[in-house]
Structure 1
Amino acid sequence: MANFDLDSRFAFGTRLVEEASALALGYFQSLGTLTIKSKGPQDMASEADLNTEILIRDRLRDAFPEDAFLGEETGRTDAVEGARGIWVVDPIDGTQPFVSNMPNWCVSIAFVLDGRTELGFVAAPARQEIFIGRRGQGATLNGKPIHVRPNAKITDGLTGMGHSARIPPAKFLPILEALLNKGGMFFRNGSGALMLCDVAAGRLLGYVEQHINSWDCLAALCIIEAAGGTVSDFLAHDGMWTGHPLAAGAPEIFPVLADLVGVSALKG
């Protein structure tokens, strides 16, 4: 990591997530004119997703041509092989809430260096919130420090739960039942990245999902770690490209969450 300029990438990412979220918000405020298509059950996309990702991708390509890029809408760049750093982007996480005129969506940008997520930027402009985290240097919400819930027990609040059509109901329902049997209570708002950020801010105790893609979670996982939380080792075994189960939350309840989906904590 020596001689790799994370400072300039952090400053650039902070500006970029604001620019991209302003573009996405403009589309959100003009929903009636958008072209919206279905990619599958409960999986939507619009021109807002594509154009926001193109803006992010092009800005990053111009600023850091040596870095690779992976986006939900446009895929990976040819520069992936041999690149030390890769930007991982979901231009609008929570497209279903977005097209339903609900505020639970966000722009998510992560930077991964040598296999470790170093920077995370998540903007939820309809909520007027920007979450930023840098590994080992803390996390903020609108510029103010945030921390995961202290001394948490699973019975103390709400646990975010993600679900997609990739997981059949028969496999998901036992996880939900197990959480309830432990005295926990579930919460879902349609955006995994945003629920994960709410974990970082201490609003939710933790989050679990049986399969999630890297662009949906890496930025927020970085923010949770920076806010003092514990996250599972998502990038192990090709998680960048294939997705993984995920658990994240306050350190005290992480073992309970990890047991629900069968994952282990990220080390150091």
Structure 2
Amino acid sequence: MNSAFDAATIPARAEVAITVALEVGRETARFRRDSDPGTLTVENKGLQDFVTIADRKAEQAIHEGLLSHFPDDSFMGEESGGQSGKGGTWVVDPIDGTTNYIRGFRHWGVSIAFVVGGKVEIGVVYDAAGDKVFHAVRGGGAFKDGIPVHAAATADPANALVILGHSRKTSFDDHLALSRRLHERGMDYRRMGAAAIDLVRVAEGAADLYYERHLNAWDMLAGALIAEEAGAVVAMPPVDRLLAQGGPVIAHSPGLAGEFAFILDIEGL
């Protein structure tokens, strides 16, 4: 950890981040419920305006909520940008799973990570589907509304449930080939469209794998720490590289390490 940073302040930061994630998550869900359904159809040209307003409102509320307590911290958000700082940086996605949010599919969330010295020290994710907050502090375990969560003990691939992400930045043919390979091993699979939530599904043992070839740092850092602290095997490039250019993330149940080793080889991790 950065020598200039006081590690004793980490628990206080985590508590503030949990409170902010819950408040902003609930307000963002309320904003969606209270909006005129007629303005949210996919054909309506006002759709992007709605998304922009919701994202910006949420990110501004997170920024104010965090930096009002820790004004010397840096802030990097999906909407407002920003750069990492030596004293510690909040890396935030105000609405992860924007398309799901727009359509009323409640697989979306709020992702808040705190990074110091190239390591994620705090991860907080608001899960809209259950109105719950997942969190982890490095070395302290993973929790869902304060109750410990753990990765699944699945060892038989025929019992595995996997979640695969995909973006248009990567090859769809590769995505199909991977899906086929996992299907042939007897695994059931999903594509849900919200990386932070997909990662906490691995953390709580609801899924056995989450993998996506390219994500931005704000999509993955909080969920990756929560999954790791829950006992999942997590692999991703160095944090500084992710902050600069994004990259892949893999999180899986430890008992299936042999099944998923080939993905680590694909990514060179």
- TM-score interval w.r.t. the shorter chain? 0.7 to 0.9
Hey, what's the Cα distance between the residues in 2 that align with 1:17 and 1:61?
14
186 and 207 in structure 1: CA distance in 2 versus 1, 3 angstrom threshold? same
TM-aligned CA deviation for residue 212 of structure 1: 1.2
CA distance in 2, matches of 1:244, 1:8: 30
- Cα RMSD of the aligned pairs, angstroms, is 2.1
* Aligned match of 1:24: 28
Could you say which residue in structure 1 is the equivalent of 2:67? 61
Give distance in 2, aligned partners of 1:243 and 1:60: 24
Tell me how far apart the structure 2 counterparts of residues 50 and 87 of structure 1 sit (CA, whole Å): 16
Q: How does 1:252-263 map to 2 (within 5 A)?
A: 252-260=255-263, 262-263=266-267
Tell me what 1:37 maps to.
48
Distance 1:245 1:125, change over 3 A: closer
Greater CA drift, 245-254 or 101-110? 245-254
Contact 1:246 1:263 in 2 (8 A): no
- SS of the residue 1:120 aligns to: strand
Q: Secondary structure at the match of 2:201?
A: helix
Q: Work out the CA distance in 1 between the residues paired with 2:250 and 2:82.
A: 25
1:53-132 to structure 2, matched below 5 A, reads 53-77=59-83, 80-81=84-85, 83-132=86-135
Aligned residues of 1:108 and 1:121 also touching (Cα < 8 A):
yes
Distance in 2 between the 1:73 and 1:254 partners? 36
Greater strand share, structure number: 1
The answer on whether the counterparts of 1:14 and 1:121 sit within 8 Å (CA) in structure 2 is yes
Between the aligned partners of 2:231 and 2:167, the Cα distance in structure 1 is 28
> 2:176 aligned with 1:165, yes or no?
no
| Cα distance in structure 1, aligned partners of 2:158 and 2:103 | 32
Looking at structure 2, the residues matched to 158 and 31 of structure 1 have their Cα atoms a distance apart, in angstroms, of 35
Correspondence for 1:223: 226
Identity of aligned residues (%): 32
Normalization by structure 2: what TM-score?
A: 0.88
Give the letter for the 2:135 counterpart. Answer: I
Consecutive unaligned residues in structure 1, runs of 5 or more: 39-43
| Counterpart in the other structure of 1:52 | 58
* SS of match in other structure, 2:259: helix
1:180 maps to what in 2?
183
Q: Which amino acid aligns with 2:69?
A: A
1:211 aligns with 2:222: no
The gaps in structure 2 that reach 5 residues or longer are 41-45
For 1:179 and 1:31, the matched residues in 2 are separated by 40
Aligned residues: 257
Q: Which moved more, 1:116-125 or 1:61-70?
A: 61-70
Corresponding residue SS for 2:158: coil
Equivalent position amino acid for 2:24 in 1: A
Match of 2:43 in 1: none
Selected match of 2:249 from 209, 222, 246 = 246
Query: What's the TM-score, normalizing by structure 1?
Result: 0.88
Q: Does the 8 A contact of 1:232 with 1:258 survive in 2?
A: no
